[in-house]
């Protein structure tokens, strides 16, 4: 067993990939400006975004679980269908499936109509309706609470034919449950999204800069003379950046906890594995851009065009549900969207991979496709 382990270590540390990896690490560490950009910049920008950025939302997705299934409950639900502020996303069979949709960010609000709703309305008793708010985005929860209170008043006045000004005890009354962010802190929405945004910017720009610098300095021709394949060269460039970005995750989470009291409800090893997977995607984007560009200035211009689009479509600064439908469809082509969903779901909701499996599969697909395209473009430039 010891002999097998020793031979495995010898094969790893004696391989061309290990030699290229060491070369990339030493080259990266000698560039103090780049190391400073990778390690310090995300921390500073995370603080600025967390304190200063405050999104403003307009459209809200709502889910309904109707245990009553009566004419009275359907009349109550119709109030939400007619409201411009809400889009009824789905009618759920049970409360748990609706909570699962809240956990992955598919809904902003969930409404549970109890079985005894009709009897309470007929007898003119107080009919309680439970309203669940996804308060990860505190601003969304506040807007939803205000709108729903107005709709309940409208229901009471129209369907129960009582003037709102004379209502002492409303016939339909809500029981509010604030989920995931009981303190309604806006920073809890911003900070997890900005972790993905800032590390995307840093990872892609650092990767493209390294590739372009190889061209400008002339070391790319030296790599061509080695027996290493283009795949090995690309993998050697990705690996050290993955390590640095993984270190950035620890820094970002520490800052979020100390400064913003950001919770971590989920499984850390799972989150770290998904984060490394996404960093592979962002680095592959940078290498792909660097393989196209002929100079560092050209690479920055390409990044200036692509990176803001990724950020705006990701749902980090504001939920994708507030966007026009066509833009929402485009957002599904944005890998950052899936990582932002993972960050908020794991950090604030404690969601595991059993619910986030779709996001993980999509990120794996992006990683494979972008790595293949990067290797192909790199190989084309070598010919």
Q: What is the pTM of this model?
A: 0.71
pLDDT at 170: 45
Pick from 90-94, 232-236, 320-324: least confident = 320-324
Query: By C-alpha distance, which of 165, 207, 153, 179 is closest to 34?
Result: 207
- Please determine, looking at this structure, whether the domain spanning 60-179 carries the CATH number 3.30.70.100: no
Instruction: Compute the distance between CA of residue 288 and CA of residue 277 in angstroms, rounded to an integer.
Output: 17
Provide the pairing of β-strand 109-113 with 127-134: antiparallel
- For the chain, give the percent of residues with pLDDT over 70: 78
Torsion angles phi and psi, residue 379, rounded to 5: -65, -40
Q: Check: CB of residue 110 under 8 Å from CB of residue 98.
A: yes
Q: Check: CB of residue 213 under 8 Å from CB of residue 33.
A: no
Mean pLDDT of the chain: 77
Contacts 24+ apart (CB under 8 A), 147-153: 147/60, 147/83, 147/85, 147/86, 148/109, 148/174, 149/174, 151/79, 151/80, 151/83
Instruction: Compute the distance between CA of residue 341 and CA of residue 315 in angstroms, rounded to an integer.
Output: 8
With bands split at pLDDT 50, 70 and 90, how would you rate the model's confidence at 352? Answer: confident
pLDDT at 364: 94
User: Over the stretch 194-246, which tens digit does the pLDDT of each residue have?
Assistant: 888 888 888 888 888 888 877 777 666 666 666 767 777 778 778 888 888 88
User: Over the stretch 241-290, which tens digit does the pLDDT of each residue have?
Assistant: 888 888 888 888 888 888 888 888 888 899 999 999 999 999 888 888 88
Residue 73 has pLDDT above 60, yes or no: yes
Secondary structure (H, E, C), the chain: CHHHHHHHHHHHHCCHHHHHHHHHHHHHHHCHHHHHHHHHHHHHHHHHHHHHCCCCCCCEEEEEEECCCCHHHHHHHHHHHHCCCEEEEEEECCHHHHHHHHHCCCCCEEEEECCCHHHHHHCCCCEEEEEEEECCCHHHHHHHHHHHHHHHHHHHHHHCCCCHHHCCCCCEEEEEEEECCCCCCCHHHHHHHHHHHHHHHHHHHHHHHHHHHHHHHCHHHHHHHCCCCHHHHHHHHHHHHHHHHHHHHHHHHHHHHHHHCCCCCCCHHHHHHHHHHHHHHHHHHHHHHHHHCCCHHHHHHHHHHHHHHHHHHHCCCCCHHHCCHHHHHHHCCCHHHHHHHHHHHHHHHCCCHHHHHHHHHHHHHHHHHHHHHHHHHHHHHHC
Residue spans of the domains in the chain: they are 16-53+186-382, 60-179
pLDDT at 49: 57
pLDDT at 281: 92
Q: Check: CB of residue 58 under 8 Å from CB of residue 323.
A: no
Pick from 53-67, 144-158, 267-281: least confident = 53-67
Instruction: Compute the distance between CA of residue 228 and CA of residue 15 in angstroms, rounded to an integer.
Output: 10
Geometric angle at alpha carbon 295, from 42 and 299, rounded to 5°: 40
pLDDT at 60: 74
Quickly tell me which residue has 């020793």 as its tokens. 6
Query: By C-alpha distance, which of 248, 250, 192 is closest to 38?
Result: 248
pLDDT at 134: 82
Instruction: Compute the distance between CA of residue 289 and CA of residue 298 in angstroms, rounded to an integer.
Output: 9
User: Over the stretch 74-85, which tens digit does the pLDDT of each residue have?
Assistant: 877 777 777 666
What token pair was written down for 375? 């290797």
């Amino acid at each position: 067993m010891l002999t097998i382990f020793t031979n495995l270590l010898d094969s790893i540390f004696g391989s061309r990939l290990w030699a290229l990896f060491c070369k990339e690490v030493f080259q990266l560490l000698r560039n103090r400006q780049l190391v400073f950009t990778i390690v310090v910049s995300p921390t500073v920008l995370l603080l600025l975004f967390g304190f200063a950025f405050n999104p403003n939302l307009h459209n809200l997705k709502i889910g309904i679980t109707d245990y009553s299934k009566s004419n009275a409950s359907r009349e109550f639900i119709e109030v939400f269908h007619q409201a411009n502020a809400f889009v009824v996303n789905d009618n759920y069979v049970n409360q748990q499936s609706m909570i699962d949709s809240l956990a992955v960010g598919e809904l902003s609000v969930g409404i549970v109509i109890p079985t005894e709703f009709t009897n309470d309305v007929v007898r003119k008793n107080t009919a309680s309706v439970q309203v669940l708010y996804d308060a990860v985005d505190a601003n969304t929860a506040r807007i939803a609470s205000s709108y729903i209170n107005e709709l309940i008043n409208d229901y009471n006045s129209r369907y129960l034919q009582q003037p709102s000004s004379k209502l002492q005890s409303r016939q339909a009354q809500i029981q509010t449950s604030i989920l995931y962010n009981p303190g309604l802190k806006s920073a809890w929405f911003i900070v997890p999204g900005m972790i993905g945004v800032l590390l995307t910017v840093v990872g892609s720009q650092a990767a493209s800069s390294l590739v372009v610098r190889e061209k400008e300095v002339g070391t790319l021709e030296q790599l061509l003379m080695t027996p290493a394949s283009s795949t090995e060269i690309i993998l050697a460039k990705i690996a050290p950046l993955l390590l640095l970005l993984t270190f950035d995750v620890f820094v970002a989470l520490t800052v979020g906890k100390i400064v913003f009291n950001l919770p971590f409800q989920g499984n850390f090893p799972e989150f770290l594995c998904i984060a490394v997977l996404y960093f592979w995607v962002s680095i592959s984007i940078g290498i792909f851009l660097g393989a196209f560009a002929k100079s560092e200035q050209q690479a920055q211009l390409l990044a200036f065009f692509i990176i803001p689009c990724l950020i705006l479509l990701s749902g980090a600064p504001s939920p994708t549900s507030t966007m026009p439908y066509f833009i929402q469809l485009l957002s599904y082509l944005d890998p950052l969207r899936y990582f932002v969903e993972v960050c908020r779901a794991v950090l604030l909701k404690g969601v595991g991979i059993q619910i986030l499996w779709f996001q993980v599969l999509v990120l794996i697909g992006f990683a494979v496709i972008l790595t293949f395209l990067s290797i192909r473009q790199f190989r084309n430039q070598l010919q």
